[in-house]
């Protein structure tokens, strides 16, 4: 029975890791889609045709909707696996291993929470960019309509065009900033996963070998003591120099 329970727990962990890997890849692609969305819209703005498709019919919008559904399904599956792991930890007969199981379960819950937060944040950024593009597209159509009715040499039209150009320049600057922020976020996410892996290994070693844990604590205490001694010596020397200088 114990062997069967152990196999069931390992199967749950395997499912959780597989779903986490799939979510990580999906979220990276989702972030890249959000970053490249505005630049591709700039290309479509240059099209002089009035038959340019609306955003709701664009390929990127369809990709956005499809990827959102896929990520939400993966998050739901991972939530279900975590719930099954939580039920297993309360099963009679695994009390002796409960601390280690709870530690593993908490780690998977933290990963799920991070992925959920990252998904909703990226989705909100995408929606904000799309709304801004809709607004600028409407302004562009208004300008074109006004140009057709009043002529290019009209003073008010020129001012309107200058304002529109200023908005486009600001939009490009904001897009560049978002791209840098997204690249930085991806790098920090990768580093966070690496640091979590190192921390998990160190905790495992410390739990398996108490002597190593005690040695690390002694080293930290000695470093703190040496720092205090060095600070005291520097303070005394400073006081003596001041007394000598003002004597």
Instruction: Please state whether 170 falls in left (phi above 0), alpha (psi between -120 and 50) or beta.
Output: alpha
Residue at which a domain ends, from 144, 173, 189:
144
Whether 153 is covered by a domain: the verdict is: no
Whether 155 is covered by a domain: the verdict is: no
The model's pTM: 0.49
Whether 154 is covered by a domain: the verdict is: no
Q: Are 8 and 99 in contact (CB under 8 A)?
A: no
What confidence category does residue 53 fall into, taking pLDDT thresholds of 50, 70 and 90? Answer: very low
Whether 167 is covered by a domain: the verdict is: no
What is the extent of the structural domain holding 215?
207-246
Whether 238 is covered by a domain: the verdict is: yes
Burial class (CB in 10 A: 0-12, 13-18, 19+), 38: buried
Residues 110 and 218 in one domain: no
Whether 163 is covered by a domain: the verdict is: no
Q: What's the total number of domains in the chain?
A: 2
pLDDT digits (tens, 9 = 90+) for 191-223: 777 777 776 776 676 666 666 667 777 887 888
Residue at which a domain ends, from 90, 112, 144:
144
Whether 185 is covered by a domain: the verdict is: no
Q: If you average pLDDT over each of 104-113, 134-143, 161-170, 233-242, which comes out highest?
A: 104-113
Q: Are 237 and 144 in contact (CB under 8 A)?
A: no
Residue at which a domain ends, from 144, 168, 192:
144
Whether 26 is covered by a domain: the verdict is: yes
């Amino acid at each position: 029975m114990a062997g069967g329970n152990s196999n069931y727990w390992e199967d749950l962990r395997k499912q959780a890791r597989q779903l986490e890997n799939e979510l990580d890849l999906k979220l990276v692609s989702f972030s890249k889609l959000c970053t490249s969305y505005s630049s591709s819209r700039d290309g479509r703005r240059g099209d002089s045709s009035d038959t340019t498709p609306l955003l709701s019919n664009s390929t990127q919008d369809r990709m956005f909707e499809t990827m959102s559904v896929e990520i939400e399904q993966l998050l739901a599956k991972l939530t279900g696996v975590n719930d099954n792991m939580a039920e297993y930890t309360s099963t009679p007969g695994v009390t002796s291993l409960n601390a280690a199981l709870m530690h593993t379960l908490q780690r998977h819950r933290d990963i799920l929470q991070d992925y959920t937060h990252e998904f909703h944040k990226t989705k909100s950024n995408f929606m904000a960019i799309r709304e801004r593009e809709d607004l600028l597209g409407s302004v562009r159509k208004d300008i074109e309509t006004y140009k057709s009715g009043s002529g290019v040499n009209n003073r008010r039209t020129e001012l309107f065009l200058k304002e529109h150009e200023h908005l486009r320049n600001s939009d490009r600057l904001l897009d560049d900033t978002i791209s840098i922020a997204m690249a930085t976020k991806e790098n920090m996410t990768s580093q966070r996963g690496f640091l979590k892996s190192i921390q998990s290994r160190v905790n495992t070693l410390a739990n398996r070998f108490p002597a190593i844990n005690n040695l690390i604590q002694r080293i930290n205490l000695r470093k703190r003591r040496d720092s205090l001694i060095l600070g005291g010596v520097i303070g005394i020397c400073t006081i003596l120099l001041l007394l000598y200088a003002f004597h």
